[in-house]
Amino acid sequence: MSRLLHIAFRPAIAILAAILMACQCEEPVPPTPPTPPEPPVEDISEDLKAFLQKSGIGLYIDARDIIVFDELLFQKAWGADNGSFRIQRDDQGAYLSIRSSSSASSSYQVEYMYGSHGVTLMLLKLQSVRTEGSNVWLWNETMKTGIIVPADIIL
């Protein structure tokens, strides 16, 4: 009979021990949430910062205005079918032509002329760095070259 009582009390003693242990524990403390990471520091060049301050449609190299559209002196045209945009001075003294390359979506053929500097042709990979209002800012960090074009032009 003592053996039978021993077998019957064994689970009861285990349950009682578990209850006593649970009652003696302090309230569970939730772990401290991790500290959120610092927002990334915008690591942009001074040239890009200067370009982002520009507002006129046109071409900017090394933070200098090369060709900037002026309603009184320039004409503008674009072709959605061939992905091109052009501004041209009325006296033919300056122009900027940008055309999307068919080989890659971010590659552009940029041709420009101003003053007596002759024609310059560049093949650039441009990335959109800002869109505001009706304009898009396109930038190439290696060449320190930025172009602002109307947003409704599909290049």
- Please determine, for residue 5, whether its predicted confidence score (pLDDT) is greater than 60: no
Question: pLDDT at residue 51 above 90?
Answer: yes
Mean pLDDT value of segment 131-141: 91
Question: pTM of the prediction?
Answer: 0.69
Q: How confident is the model at residue 3 (pLDDT cuts 50, 70, 90)?
A: low
User: Which helix (H) or strand (E) is 20 found in, with range?
Assistant: helix 2-24
CB 71 within 8 A of CB 87: no
pLDDT exceeds cutoff 70 at 77: yes
User: What pLDDT shows up at residue 57?
Assistant: 95
Confidence of residue 12 (pLDDT cuts 50, 70, 90): low
Q: Tell me: pLDDT of 17 over 70.
A: no
Task: Give the percent of the chain with pLDDT over 70.
Answer: 69
Report CA-CA distances (Å) from 24 to 16, 104, 124. 12, 69, 71
Structural contact between residues 1 and 9, judged by C-beta atoms closer than 8 angstroms: no
Decide if pLDDT at 106 tops 90: no
Please tell me the predicted confidence (pLDDT) of residue 67: 94
Among 147, 11, 150, 137, which Cα is nearest to 78's? Answer: 150
Nearest CA among 143, 137, 112 for reference residue 125: 143
Q: Which parts of 48-150 are beta strand (E)?
A: 58-61, 64-68, 74-79, 84-89, 94-100, 107-114, 119-125, 127-132, 135-140, 145-150
Average pLDDT, integer, range 124-139: 91
**DSSP, res 139:** E
What residue has token string 């990335």? 127
Give the model's pLDDT for residue 68: 95
